[in-house]
Amino acid sequence: MTVIELFPAIDMRGGKCVRLFKGDYNQETVYAESPFEMAKTFACQGAKWIHMVDLDGAKDGKRIHDKDVIRAATELGVNVQIGGGIRTEEDVKYYLDNGVARVIIGSLAIQQPELAVSIIQRFGAEKIVIGLDAKEGMVATHGWLETSSKSAIEVGQYFATHGAKTFIFTDIATDGTLSGPNILANELLAEATGAEVIVSGGISSLSDVKKVAKAAAGSKIGGVIIGKALYENRFTLPEALREVASC
């Protein structure tokens, strides 16, 4: 089977490391006081990538937790990808110029697709990830507070034809629920776009991680984002890394 990349997730709100239930800002659990210290822990446990999300930025439409992100990217020797609050080309340039490996475009891609395509062309597809967060198949924006009229596959196909190489697909119905990932939706997106898809939402066990790894053997699924399961001690990052290495 294909060895997939693991992305431990750090969602930031109010200066802390939190998790939301199904993207609901009113259902928040605080897991750590410092996003940087959490990132440091993951780096020490063997993470090659860290997935960071600025929840305040996603809601307010501007960078809020950029200092935490840049500190992790420049001090920890890991690859950092950041999403949330990225609304302009300058936001993208700011992060890439300050050591971030990849920038995730979500709401911007839906609201200003031509600008998003321009950003991919300017900075390169290896630096830009299109984030597709879906409620019942339809893409949500602005920190999941609004739902667009576009399906995840429709948006994915558009950007794939304009140079996008990597998507993160989040099934909002499973995010933060520990109910298992929606692998089929990820497989369908990968098939429809021909691009790499990173699974996000619902991972609850090592068995779930192994299921994603198995799915990757027959599709372009390239990784999985793990959040609440790590914070709830369902398993450790080293255990998950060993799991995918043995596949």
Residue owning tokens 């924006």:
141
| Distances from the Cα of 94 to the Cα of 67, 90, 103, 212, angstroms | 11, 6, 10, 33
Q: Does residue 56 carry a catalytic annotation?
A: no
Count each helix (H run) and each strand (E run) in the chain, helices first.
11, 12
For the chain, how far is it from start to end, CA to CA, in angstroms? Answer: 6
CA–CA separation, 38 vs 6, rounded Å? 16
Q: Does residue 208 carry a catalytic annotation?
A: no
CA–CA separation, 38 vs 195, rounded Å? 30
Catalytic pick from 54, 56, 68, 133? 133
Read off the tokens for 57.
């930025």
CA–CA separation, 94 vs 185, rounded Å? 33
Please report which residue ranges of 61-151 form alpha helices under DSSP H. 66-75, 89-97, 107-111, 113-123
DSSP-derived letter for residue 156 is: H
> What CA dihedral angle connects 13, 18, 22 and 24, to 10 degrees?
-40
Catalytic residues: 11, 133
